[in-house]
Amino acid sequence: MSASYDMIAEAMSHLPEYLGQHVLISIAAIATGFVISVPLAISLSRVAWLKGPALGLAGIVQTIPGLALLALFYPLLLALSALTQRLFGFGFRALGFLPTLLALTIYSILPVLRNTVTALSGTDPAIKTAARGVGMTPWQTLFLVELPLAAPVIMAGLRTAAVWVIGAATLSTPVGQTSLGNYIFTGLQTENWIYVLFGCIAAALLALVIDFLLSLAEKGIAMRSRRRLMLSAAGLILVVGASLSPLFASKTTPIVIGAKSFEEQYILGALIGDKLKAAGFESTRRDGLGSTVIFRALEAGDVDVYVDYSGTLWTTAMQRSDMPGREAVLGQLSSWLKNRGVNDLGTLGFENAYAFAMRRDRAEALGIRTLADLAIHAQTLKIGADFEFFSRPEWKATAKTYGLRFALRRQYQANFMYSALVDGDVDVISAFSSDGRIAQYGLKLIADPKNALPPYDAVLLVSAKHAHDEKLLAALRPLIGALDLASMQQANLMVDRADDKRTPEQAAQWLAGRLRK
Amino acid sequence: MITLEQVSMSYKGTPTPAVRDLDLDIPRGCFFALIGESGSGKTTTLHLINRLIEPGSGRVLMEGIDLRALDPSILRRGMGFVFQAIGLFPHLTVAENVGITPRLLGWPKARIDARVDELLELVHLPLTAFRNRFPAALSGGQQQRVGVARALAAQPKIMLMDEPFGALDPLIRDDLASEYLAIHRALGLTTIMVTHDITEAFLLADRVAVMREGRIAQTGTPRELLAAPADDFVRSMIDTPRRHARRLAEAMGAVGPA
């Protein structure tokens, strides 16, 4: 009971930042969408033949899932940033605020556009004739008659847009924009349902409050009640102001700590955050980033510090497929990183490798000890993996080396793979060697005698911007070589397990006490 | 005051012109009625005078000036316009509706307020009861009184009226028509009114033009038209009020004078 109380307290401590960012991005997107869609709707209502196609196009855009729209804007902006860098000598942040703003803005256009076009096209022709008859110019007709009459309907569109955007903004976490979605994504990764629920309720409450205040404005316009309009404006200013105030409270630019989308990364992110705080740094988190996205973000300076794994960088960033051995990988990686301006502080002391795992009873029944044994039975077996694995070079290399071909492939949220394996939904999974559940469930790790999989030493990386910030580096150095595999597994399990579940922050505090001096 | 010279005009996508070779001369201070069947071009003619419609060929002149030389919005601010659909702005109060043209002309607020009060009195709407009401809260007759007040607000010399009382109850209609006639005379207006009610036209107008298929069949005073209809069509048109009068006289004779 007290554990869940702690979790709520923990969740509350993030609320100022998450809510502030959520409100900021939502308001920015709604306002930008409004400024685009109203003039667009006015032009469309004047050009009859364009109306159908334009509304159709907006409708099609609306059917693109919000997450996909966000995912599309990141590479688009990355390419654009590279282009402006080459042409004009400046780039911009392709991660976080900008892709989210663009995607949500596009999302917010349709309701306002559709309502404005409908309202303007539906103006009583007699009233338009009267407007001309009393001597109004076309612009005066628009501003004195058509728009005031359409205003309640436009406001209704704005309300719809606001509710959509506030909801969709929770999806911005994976592209590096902090929002109330951070609760949901972190909660999902760590099976912390209190977090998920907290994020859902917070986002829903925010949507309800904003919707209520806008409905007050809508009624105020329709009934020409100045009191209602004032009340609505005051409420909006209060809510937005209160939400945004924590964002302006911190004067210094915080150090951005990145984390990929699994529990170990959240724990390490929290651990780094604690170390930085102890050294007097302000820091902020970008959680739930994809493993390619996060390295690009570090190179671009959108993320300042995070933990990656040597094998991942070797295959994905360096695009190497040869396996020269552990020390050689680390050595070549280090100099490759240095060339790119990234400071590689060193290894943390444990490895989180991709390892094929089976239920012990199943492996023993089939007599599987190595990947070569697995290849013999693979055609009758089902394999489960995380979302990335099958598109990673490691998988391709391993499959090729051993001739692995499975009957069926399934993809899971990383932390759901283990229960899928235990429940028998799949026969083999691509497990992570530092995951506490391997020991918990007594899983059998399949040996890789041909070394098809690279080593995955955890390495601490610092962006070029801070590569020579001695105070920062000094704060981080105590982590180098200080984490053993058993402690990491234990910490991961604390977050993953169903009973006596801990938050990543709590696990990080526990882990801090286990650091090797 | 208003002159139409050889004006023709066709709507897009229609083979026959709405008006053709129209010649009209409307003197200052005249109450001029345009009558005819629906589709005969009455409303088109009226709209040509404040450039709600542009002529295809020919010229429309106001005091000798071709209307095309004037800005259409500024031209319309100088003319009152009343029509059957009334077209009050639903989001504006009675006072704001009446004051709209002065507002467009940039009058100071105090002058607009005074003018609004003056006009509401003129059309017999008590200020305190009506000034701040919205059009939706008024009856049809009250709405059209506001419509007339709005048209008169900027002190126009010319009033264009398109079946202004056509949608009202007979009693209110008669009241409003005779009240308007008094206003027309008192202010020395030039009024051009479209109506399909021939009796109304004959009772109000100094001159009447009968239109048929986009042309003027005959123009003259009511007395002239009654005395010498130009052709069978005009005769059949003006027969209606005559027949009404006769039947009314018979009915009253049967009952006896009150």
- pLDDT level of residue A464 (50, 70, 90 thresholds): confident
Q: Which helix (H) or strand (E) holds A3?
A: helix A2-46
| pLDDT, chain B, mean | 91
Instruction: Provide the domain count of chain B.
Output: 2
pLDDT at A451: 84
- Is residue A258's pLDDT more than 50? yes
Q: Which residue of B has its CA nearest to A126?
A: B87
| Tokens encoding B111 | 């002058």
pLDDT (tens digit per residue) in A240-252:
888 888 777 655 6
For residues B230 and B170, membership in a common domain is answered with yes
More reliable by pLDDT, A70 or A335: A335
For residues B33 and B100, membership in a common domain is answered with no
| 3-state DSSP of B39-98 | CCCHHHHHHHHCCCCCCCEEEEEECCEEHHHCCHHHHHHCEEEEECCCCCCCCCCHHHHH
Establish if B61 belongs to a structural domain.
yes
| Tokens encoding A239 | 């809510």
Q: Which residues pair with A343 in a beta bridge?
A: A462
Establish if B253 belongs to a structural domain.
no
Q: Does A337 touch chain B (CB under 8 A)?
A: no
pTM over 0.80: no
Q: How far apart, in whole angstroms, are the C-alpha atoms of residue A310 and residue A300?
A: 20
Q: Does B76 touch chain A (CB under 8 A)?
A: yes
For residues B147 and B178, membership in a common domain is answered with no
Does CATH place domain A354-445 in 3.40.190.120? yes
Q: How far apart, in whole angstroms, are the C-alpha atoms of residue A363 and residue A126?
A: 82
Helix (H, G, I), strand (E, B) or coil at B3: strand
| Cβ-nearest to B104 among A127, A140, A224 | A140
Q: What is the mean pLDDT of residues B50-79?
A: 93
Q: Which helix (H) or strand (E) holds B25?
A: strand B19-26
Any idea which fold A255-351+459-512 has?
A: D-Maltodextrin-Binding Protein; domain 2 (3.40.190)
Q: What value of ipTM does the predicted structure carry? A: 0.90
For residues B214 and B96, membership in a common domain is answered with no
Q: Does B77 touch chain A (CB under 8 A)?
A: yes
Q: Does B104 touch chain A (CB under 8 A)?
A: yes
Cβ atoms of B222 and B228 closer than 8 Å: no
Establish if B255 belongs to a structural domain.
no
CA-closest candidate to residue A25, choices A196, A178, A251: A178
Establish if B96 belongs to a structural domain.
yes
Contact assignment for A130 to B88 by CB distance below 8 Å: yes
Q: How far apart, in whole angstroms, are the C-alpha atoms of residue A291 and residue A267?
A: 16
- Is residue A1's pLDDT more than 60? no
B106-129 burial, b at 16+ Cβ within 10 Å, e below that, comes to ebeeeebeebbeebbebbebeeee
For chain A, how far is it from start to end, CA to CA, in angstroms?
35
pLDDT at A66: 80
| Tokens encoding A296 | 């690009």
| Tokens encoding A190 | 């760590």
Neighbours of A215 (CB within 10 A): 15
Burial of B255 from C-beta contacts in 10 A (0-12 / 13-18 / 19+): exposed
Contact assignment for B76 to A126 by CB distance below 8 Å: no
For residues B90 and B67, membership in a common domain is answered with no
- pLDDT level of residue A83 (50, 70, 90 thresholds): confident
Q: What is the mean pLDDT of residues B192-216?
A: 92
Establish if B237 belongs to a structural domain.
yes
Domain ranges of chain A: 18-203, 255-351+459-512, 354-445
Q: Which of B156, B182, B204 is the last residue of a domain?
A: B156
The values of phi and psi at residue A405, to 5°, are -140, 115
For residues B178 and B135, membership in a common domain is answered with no
Residue B217 CA from chain centroid, whole number? 20
Q: How far apart, in whole angstroms, are the C-alpha atoms of residue A82 and residue B25?
A: 73
Helix axes A2-46, A193-222, angle to 10 degrees: 40
For residues B169 and B147, membership in a common domain is answered with no
Q: Does A127 touch chain B (CB under 8 A)?
A: yes
Q: How far apart, in whole angstroms, are the C-alpha atoms of residue B68 and residue A201?
A: 64
For residues B52 and B125, membership in a common domain is answered with no
| Tokens encoding A41 | 């709707």
Any idea which fold A18-203 has?
A: MetI-like fold (1.10.3720)
- pLDDT level of residue A26 (50, 70, 90 thresholds): very high
| CATH code of B178's domain | 3.40.50.300
Cβ atoms of B176 and B145 closer than 8 Å: yes
Contact assignment for A145 to B89 by CB distance below 8 Å: yes
B216-251 burial, b at 16+ Cβ within 10 Å, e below that, comes to bbbbbebeebbeebeeebbeebbeebeeeeeeeeee
Establish if B135 belongs to a structural domain.
yes
| Cβ-nearest to A134 among B74, B85, B100 | B100
Range of the domain at B107: 79-156
For residues B11 and B44, membership in a common domain is answered with yes
Q: Does A134 touch chain B (CB under 8 A)?
A: yes
Contact assignment for B87 to A136 by CB distance below 8 Å: no
pLDDT at A285: 85
DSSP string, A102-128: HHHHHHHHHHHHHHHHHHHHTS-HHHH
A255-351+459-512 and A354-445 agree in CATH topology? yes
DSSP string, A64-81: S-HHHHHHHHHHHHHHHH
CA atoms within 13 A on the CB side of A175: 31
| pLDDT, chain A, mean | 88
- Is residue B255's pLDDT more than 80? no
Alpha carbon separation from A170 to A178, A186, A203, A253, A410 (Å, rounded): 9, 12, 8, 24, 26
Contact assignment for A134 to B50 by CB distance below 8 Å: no
Q: Which residue of A has its CA nearest to B151?
A: A134
Contact assignment for B81 to A224 by CB distance below 8 Å: no
pLDDT at B171: 86
Contact assignment for A126 to B83 by CB distance below 8 Å: yes
Least confident of A80-94, A365-379, A422-436: A80-94
For residues B109 and B172, membership in a common domain is answered with no
Which of chain A's residues have a Cβ under 8 Å away from the Cβ of B50?
A: 133
Alpha carbon separation from A263 to A259, A293, A415, A416, B186 (Å, rounded): 9, 18, 8, 12, 89
- Distance from the Cα of A126 to chain B's closest Cα (Å) equals 5
| Tokens encoding A197 | 């629920």
For residues B127 and B239, membership in a common domain is answered with no
pLDDT (tens digit per residue) in A146-198:
999 999 999 999 999 999 999 999 998 888 788 999 899 888 877 788 889 99
More reliable by pLDDT, A52 or A39: A39
Contact assignment for A133 to B50 by CB distance below 8 Å: yes
Angle A466-A471-A472 (CA atoms, 0-180°, nearest 5)?
Answer: 45
Most confident stretch, A321-335, A417-431, B147-161: B147-161
Which one of A124, A128, A134, A153 makes the best mutation probe of the B interface by having the most chain B beta carbons within 10 Å?
Answer: A134
Contact assignment for B87 to A148 by CB distance below 8 Å: no
For residues B66 and B84, membership in a common domain is answered with no
pLDDT at B257: 54
Q: Which residue of B has its CA nearest to A152?
A: B91
Q: How far apart, in whole angstroms, are the C-alpha atoms of residue A120 and residue A143?
A: 11
